[in-house]
A and B are shown apart, each in its own frame.
Chain A
Amino acid sequence: SVVPTQVKINLINMLSETGLPVVEATSFVSPKWVPQMADHTEVMQGITKFPGVSYPVLTPNLRGFQAAVAAGAEEVSIFGAASELFTKKNINCSIEESLERFGEVMAAARAASIPVRGYVSCVLGCPYEGKISAAKVAEVAKKMYSMGCYEISLGDTIGVGTPGSMKEMLAAVAKEVPVGALAVHCHDTYGQALANILVALQMGVSVVDASVAGLGGCPYARGASGNVATEDLVYMLNGLGVHTGVDLQKLMDTGTFICNALNRRTN
């Protein structure tokens, strides 16, 4: 079921108050493909923009980019993948073609001084291809970084990664992209997310994606969990003495809010 626009706005505002430095607000993609994000313009225009907080939005192509900027977006994200089959199934083109499309977005973003974050999906495994080579991930990450993305978020899209594969993948990518420009986006479908994130931290990664209350199941495994929960991540980082600027209690309250609104249990 689609979440009401006002609930989304409330959620984002609450997240803004927790101290999180970045909150991914919405996706400027056609509602034909992603109906849950159909209200992207209203959400973008409705949220309160807290000073010091970035509100990136997904922009899969130039049209989406233009709509995003018109709605007030000041940062955008583009989504690539380390798997040819995944790219074909997802956006009906090859990796090379997808990067060409992104090239248009990059050019427009550069002209407008808008930072672009690049995501690479399937970095530790693909629901169609299975194993993904670390070299391939490094190749795609490098291309996106060279195109001008300020940060590359490496996504374990189906959560199959383990500390072993995470380490191998990061070692390969860090040869091509400075570790300071790397982020990890781990899914907890197999319960491995925090262990994988720990390994990434040990290798010098200092940007981690997470989702409040672990929102977002896995579309490839019915009933399985998806995103790692921001609360669990912050708990671990607090225990490690790593500074995040995030107030865990406020974060948990935000999680409670959205779970009540969605009538579901937290992950």
Chain B
Amino acid sequence: MGTVPSALKHCLSYQHLLKEQLWIGEPAAPPPAVPHPGQEFQASGLPEYIKIVEVGPRDGLQNEKVLVPTDIKIELINRLSRTGLPAIEVTSFVSSKWVPQMADHKEVMRGIERHPGVQYPVLTPNLQGFRSAIAAGATEVSVFGAASESFSKMNINCSIEESIEKFEEVAKSARNMNIPVRGYVSCALGCPYEGNIIPTKVAEVSKRLYSMGCYEISLGDTIGVGTPGSMKRMLEAVMKEIPLSALAVHCHDTYGQALANILTAIQMGVAVVDSSVAGLGGCPYAKGATGNVATEDVIYMLNGLGINTGVNLYTVMEAGNFICTALNKKTNSKVAQASFNTGTIN
């Protein structure tokens, strides 16, 4: 680029720039009372409102190297509750033998503040986990399927079909207790073992989860290999089986494609996006690579598109700053990086 000016100190502060660029202020509308707002679209064809599901405390922390103390987790979740985020994935009721990072699931569930209008889903891989979650006060649960047989086998040691059967037990109990269930489909755009995943397989697994009663299906690009091309093809296949309003995307940024993939999804009408504060959670399949897309970066993009999320970007950045300081790590959010010169808020 041209000559670098010497008068950098005369620059507008980034906070000033952010305020101008991002319509930061009070959220335009309170979070909707129902989990799924109707699909209101702007003139641009994009949804007017996008629900952000914050997975940092679960998916994020589960994939960080450091074991986080319970009180830090609770503090993080409480801070996130004050940002306007409508849904925060709290923890996972899975055996601590498999996922030691989530061993304190009961304490976390019982310890967090429950803000009105905010959902606090938890992972429940089976009936035992479900019961434990309910006993600890959970009011929404999630089940995790995969579009890849190999991944299913390696991850939870059973076939897709067997895993679906387990989830059906959970879904049945959940239905009896009026507990909503969210379904995840991993490896929607590629598998670390099988490579390419065909869109119709993703559609098939999604349909099974939806039919058993999952109110929403989150399609996960688990290893971040997807691009706008494969995202489009996959969504086209899934949209034949599942109503648009029940779809969410869970993109990983391992290859830097997440925001472009999310943009593609929302251009196709998807109005629910999963993300992780500060981009917490590396990729267990690619050492040193990034994992979850950063909530801050997603909100920045959505704000710039004039899409309402109800979320205050500043407070999310503050929560991200808190957890990164606690974990002694750098944020994975570019927005946060650009905004904080020294890692603390100016």
Contacts and interface: CB of A to CB of B under 8 A. Distances in A.
A222 B303 contact: no
A77 B14 CA distance: 29
A162 B337 contact: no
A16 interface: no
A130 B4 contact: no
Contacts of A158: 17
- Bin the interface of chain A by size: 35 or more
A236 interface: yes
Interface stretch (B5-13, B125-133, B136-144, B173-181): B5-13
Contacts of A197: 260
B3 A221 contact: no
Given A79-B2, A89-B7, A239 B338 contact: no
Nearest to A242: B229
Contacts of B333: 191
Interface in A152-173: 155, 157-165, 167
A240 B227 contact: yes
Nearest to A224: B338
A128 B3 CA distance: 15
Interface in B317-342: 333-335, 337-339, 341
Nearest to A155: B1
Contacts of A190: 297, 300, 334-335, 338
- Bin the interface of chain B by size: 35 or more
Interface string A132-158: 000000000000000000000001011
Interface stretch (B77-85, B200-208, B209-217, B251-259): B251-259
A60 B4 CA distance: 13
B248 interface: no
A79 B11 CA distance: 20
B301 A162 contact: yes
Interface of B: 1-5, 7-8, 10-12, 14, 16-17, 20-21, 44, 226-230, 255-257, 259-260, 262-264, 294, 297, 300-301, 303-306, 333-335, 337-339, 341
Interface of A: 29, 33-34, 58, 60, 79, 81, 89-91, 119, 121, 125, 127-128, 130-131, 155, 157-165, 167, 188-192, 194-195, 197-199, 218-225, 229, 232, 235-236, 238-241
